[in-house]
């Protein structure tokens, strides 16, 4: 059995848990290993799980009518990923959720989550607070999208999530920021001092 301490600690950041509550919560979870490139959710299906990343990296994206991919969300260790509209509203989803690295995820089903809140209403608070943070995050990103230039969007992102730049290939970061890979390359190169630029170009295999 995997060590679920990171996930339990995640929950405890928002609500205290007794031993009994912790055991019940853990009993509802399932640990799943996924290979790089594997999809854990696809458009047209109801999203069955919220996925907590124990190890690895995943992304959610859509493929538009022209076959172009748009990345909606990224997740590494200690983050959650799903197709939230599909998961919550129980309607067919629109996202792919794909492992970008070999990953170990902890899954909680919709039914388990409902059962958890019914049994221990304090989990309502956990989901209330985390949903509020999700809404704030989505709104900040929306704000950045409608009011910032591509260059400013990249700088905001790089300042806030420098670790994600190390974990995801450039084409995924570009599609997350709503720009082409070529344009993002140009911005990155403009922003680096000459010495680093050389290093970056030689290491950059994305």
| Chain residues that interact with its own copies, rule: CB under 8 A | 62, 64, 68, 70, 72, 84-85, 88-89, 94, 117, 121-122, 124-125, 127-128, 131-136, 138-143, 145-148, 178
Least Å distance, CB 113 to its own copies, is 11
Choose between 36 and 70: whose C-beta lies nearer to its own copies: 70
CB of 65 to its own copies, least distance (A): 9
Q: Specify the residue, 104 or 156, whose C-beta has the smaller distance to its own copies.
A: 156
Residue 53 vs 120, nearer CB to its own copies:
120
If the CB atoms of residues 54 and 179 are measured against its own copies, the closer one turns out to be: 179
Beta bridge partners of 60: 73, 97
Q: Smallest gap, in angstroms, from Cβ of residue 146 to its own copies?
A: 4
Quote the least distance from Cβ 175 to its own copies, whole Å: 8
Contact 74, 142 (CB under 8 A): no
Compare residues 23 and 139 and give the one whose CB is closer to its own copies: 139
CA distances from 187 to 71, 105, 163 (A): 19, 33, 18
φ, ψ for residue 59, nearest 5 deg: -145, 155
User: How many helices and strands in the chain, by DSSP H and E?
Assistant: 10, 8
What's the closest the beta carbon of residue 37 comes to its own copies, in angstroms?
A: 22
Please say which residue, 50 or 54, places its beta carbon nearer to its own copies.
50
d(CA 181, CA 177): 10
CB of 120: closest distance to its own copies in angstroms? 11
Contacts of 99 (CB under 8 A, 6+ apart): 34, 35, 36, 37, 38, 39, 40, 56, 57, 58
CB 57 within 8 A of CB 74: yes
- Asked if 174 and 181 touch (Cβ cutoff 8 Å), the reply is yes
Asked whether the beta carbons of 53 and 78 are under 8 A apart, the reply is yes
């Amino acid at each position: 059995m995997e060590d679920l301490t990171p996930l339990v600690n995640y929950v405890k950041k928002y609500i205290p848990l007794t031993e009994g509550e912790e055991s019940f919560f853990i009993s509802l979870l399932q640990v799943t290993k996924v290979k790089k490139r594997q999809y854990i959710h696809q458009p047209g299906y109801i999203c069955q799980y919220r996925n907590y990343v124990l190890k690895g990296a995943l992304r959610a994206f859509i493929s538009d009518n022209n076959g172009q991919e748009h990345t909606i969300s990224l997740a590494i260790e200690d983050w959650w990923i799903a197709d939230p509209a599909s998961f919550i509203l129980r309607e067919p989803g629109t996202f792919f959720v794909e492992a970008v690295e070999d990953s170990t995820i902890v899954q909680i089903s919709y039914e388990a989550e409902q059962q958890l809140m019914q049994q221990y209403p304090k989990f309502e608070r956990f989901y209330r607070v985390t949903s509020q943070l999700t809404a704030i995050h989505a709104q900040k990103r929306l704000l950045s999208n409608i009011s910032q230039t591509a260059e400013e969007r990249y700088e905001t992102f790089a300042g806030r999530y420098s670790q994600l730049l190390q974990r995801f290939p450039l084409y995924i970061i570009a599609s997350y920021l709503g720009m082409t890979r070529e344009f993002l390359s140009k911005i990155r190169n403009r922003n680096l001092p000459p010495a680093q630029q050389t290093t970056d170009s030689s290491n950059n295999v994305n």
